[in-house]
Amino acid sequence: MTDVFGINAFGVDGDATLTGDNALRRIIKNFQSYSDKLYAEVKQLQEKFGELDTTVIGDAPFLNALIKETLRFYPPIGWLDRVCSKDYKIDDKLTIPAGTPVYVNGVGMQMDPKYYPDPEKFHPDRFMPENEQNIAPFTYMPFGEGPRVCIGKRFAEVSSRAALAALTLNFKYRPLPDAKIELEKNALFLKTGEILHLKYIQIRLGFYDCKWSVKRPRRWFV
């Protein structure tokens, strides 16, 4: 059927019947494998509840898993620092004296295959409710951890959910071809490494291109 439609509808010769593969067949397979998953979840919540307030989107499992996996890849800061309040014996060979600054490599743990199998793969399902319970405590800390966890954590989570839900309902995103990539200098904190140029296609009011740029973080260390 691929060859028939290719020849009659597009004037493109094909040999998918003989080889099982050609350019048009690969495009069709890509269409078939597309997962419009986040949009489906948010749209379903909108149809059920109407207004997407903070309570409603707070219970959206895939939306929250997507944000958490993004922060696993690109936490705003790469480490957690504390000061030892009293002498702490690690083992017979090492005791940390009181007053010693201690730095915990948060981003290192979040990219460690010991805690996150296949860590270079973007896989939001790690943080779905049925899987998140398997994540080892204190191995995920984009907002820090413990009694002095980031005071803005809750605000950041609520804002991110609301923004991502609104964008997903109203826009499709496509990369702009041949976009210029700009790299920035090393920094102590995790900073933007390159600019990712996106084409925003508005869903409700027709299709048009928005010349907006979204910065994609890159890991920098000194």
Average of per-residue pLDDT values in the chain: 76
In this prediction, residue 166 has a pLDDT band, given cuts at 50, 70 and 90, of confident
In a domain, 200, yes or no: yes
Q: Model pTM? A: 0.70
What string of H, E and C letters represents the secondary structure of the chain?
A: CHHHHHHHHHCCCCCHHHHCCCHHHHHHHHHHHCCCHHHHHHHHHHHHHCCCCHHHHHCCHHHHHHHHHHHHHCCCCCCEEEECCCCEEEECCEEECCCCEEEECHHHHHCCCCCCCCCCCCCHHHHCHHHHCCCCCCCCCECECCCCCCCCHHHHHHHHHHHHHHHHHHEEEEECCCCCCCCCCCCCCCCEEEEEEEEEEECCCCCCCCEEEEEEECCCCC
Provide the domain limits for residue 3.
Answer: 1-29
The reported pLDDT for the residue numbered 123 is 93
Say yes or no: 111 and 179 in one domain. no
The reported pLDDT for the residue numbered 208 is 36
User: Per residue in 99-155, pLDDT tens?
Assistant: 999 988 888 999 999 999 999 999 999 999 999 999 999 999 999 888 888 888 989
In a domain, 159, yes or no: no
Say yes or no: 198 and 142 in one domain. no
Say yes or no: 68 and 120 in one domain. yes
- Which residues are bridge partners to 194 per DSSP? 216
Say yes or no: 186 and 218 in one domain. yes
In a domain, 37, yes or no: no
In a domain, 18, yes or no: yes
In a domain, 35, yes or no: no
Say yes or no: 134 and 64 in one domain. yes
Distances (CA, A) of 25 to 32, 130, 153, 170: 11, 36, 46, 30
Q: Which of 192, 75, 215 is nearest to 139 (CA)?
A: 75
Q: Taking residues 68-75, what's their average pLDDT? A: 89
In this prediction, residue 194 has a pLDDT band, given cuts at 50, 70 and 90, of low
User: Is a pLDDT exceeding 70 seen at residue 26?
Assistant: no
In this prediction, residue 8 has a pLDDT band, given cuts at 50, 70 and 90, of very low
Query: What is the CB neighbour count within 10 angstroms for residue 42?
Result: 23
Instruction: Report the number of distinct structural domains present in the chain.
Output: 3
Say yes or no: 138 and 197 in one domain. no
Residues 6+ apart with CB under 8 A from 28: 2
Say yes or no: 178 and 128 in one domain. no
Say if CB 6 and CB 19 are below 8 A apart.
no
pLDDT, greater one: 144 or 199 = 144
Q: Taking residues 89-97, what's their average pLDDT? A: 94
In a domain, 21, yes or no: yes
In a domain, 158, yes or no: no
In this prediction, residue 210 has a pLDDT band, given cuts at 50, 70 and 90, of very low
Measured at the alpha carbon of residue 186, what is the angle toward residues 191 and 222, in degrees to the nearest 5? 105
Distances (CA, A) of 151 to 39, 104, 123, 169: 30, 19, 27, 29
